[in-house]
Amino acid sequence: MPESCDVVVIGGGQAGLAAGYYLRRAGLSHVILDAASDAGGAWQHYWHSMRLFSPAEYSPLPGWGMPRQEGEEFPTAGHVVDYLRAYEKRYDLPVRRPVRVRVVRPAGERLAVEAEAGTWVAGYVISATGTWERPYVPDVPGREEFAGRQLHTVHYTSPEEFRGQRVVIVGGGNSAAQILAEVSRVAETTWVTLRPPRFMPEDVDGRVLLGVATRKAAGGAAASVSDLGDIVMVPTVRDARHRGVLHARPMFARLTAYGVRWPDGTEQPCDAVIWCTGFRPNLAHLAPLLPGWQEGEVATEGTRSVDEPRLYLLGYGDWTGPASATLVGAGRTAKATVADITARLGG
């Protein structure tokens, strides 16, 4: 028989745990279904040198601040994983894993969440599956011809695997700049972007970005985080600039069997291409609820779906709330979401 509760949360990363914290505090029956076999969300898959943009005290989930990491001003991805694992235990959150949700369907006045492990029926569903499982690679001509290695950010682990090679890094965001900074120490690198990269001022880090996002969420700031630039000048990126490697070329016209061809027809050989080209929301399980969805953003009022009022979306990017894909931003949007669900259930 299907299990029944007030709310099903799909995804046990930072957004799902933040939702669980507020659901627990509101006294609503709920379950958190996570496809991963261990705690930590996408943080357990990041490359080895990945760091937060701000100190631990600026990156909390609701209720419990992240402890400082000894010897590190900016915590590593591994430290964040340890924090999320401890957070689950601290608040005894009802996480079931590994449970991969196949589909969510209407079931009369409620919603049915179907997985191989069983079916859950709830009045409301919070989807917090993130984007990590939907890496995006643009359909560049010649991708199938290239004989070298191609990989997305999700598959990058360390620069050592590229030592002595010629590497093209594609993308104009933080991941591209940070990976370029370390790969350029062991390989010959070329950085390629669609538009000229926008660097934030050197005194801007996660603390400043948090302040801007907070004011934006409160309706007190016209500017957004993106207005400051796209790339945070963390120490490794600043070092890359000092070494003279932080220069981007416009996008190549196509890949060839052995490299890239520029718009003027010249060719450059390379051994590998790293696509730091972002992600798409992981929402295929919601197809029956969103018949008009076309692989991108979903129409929402706050975090609530316009097309399906029993569905909420957390942590997919700024379209689900300012800085909602960050630790502290996830908590802010989860609080508003649970408050709305609580009011609809009669307080």
Domains of the chain (ranges plus CATH)?
3-133+279-344 (3.50.50.60), 149-275 (3.50.50.60)
> Strand 259-261 to strand 267-269: parallel, antiparallel, or no bridges (unpaired)?
antiparallel
Cα 183 from Cα 236, distance rounded (Å): 11
Of 240, 239, 256, nearest in space to 248 by CA: 240
Q: pTM score, two decimals?
A: 0.90
343 Cβ partners below 8 Å, 6+ apart? none
Per-residue tens of pLDDT for the chain, all 347 residues: 789 999 999 999 999 999 999 999 999 999 999 999 999 999 999 998 898 888 898 889 999 999 999 988 889 999 999 999 999 999 999 999 999 999 999 999 999 999 999 999 999 999 999 999 999 999 999 999 999 999 999 999 999 999 999 999 999 999 999 999 999 999 999 999 999 998 888 766 555 556 555 555 556 555 555 555 688 888 899 999 999 999 999 999 999 999 999 999 999 999 999 999 999 999 999 999 998 787 778 999 999 999 999 999 999 998 999 889 989 889 999 999 999 999 999 86
- 139, two tokens: 């359909």
Of 99, 104, 69, nearest in space to 86 by CA: 69
pLDDT for the residue numbered 297 = 86
Cα 35 from Cα 265, distance rounded (Å): 46
Cα 153 from Cα 130, distance rounded (Å): 15
User: Each residue of 302-320: b (16+ CB within 10 Å) or e?
Assistant: ebbbeebebbbbbbbbbeb
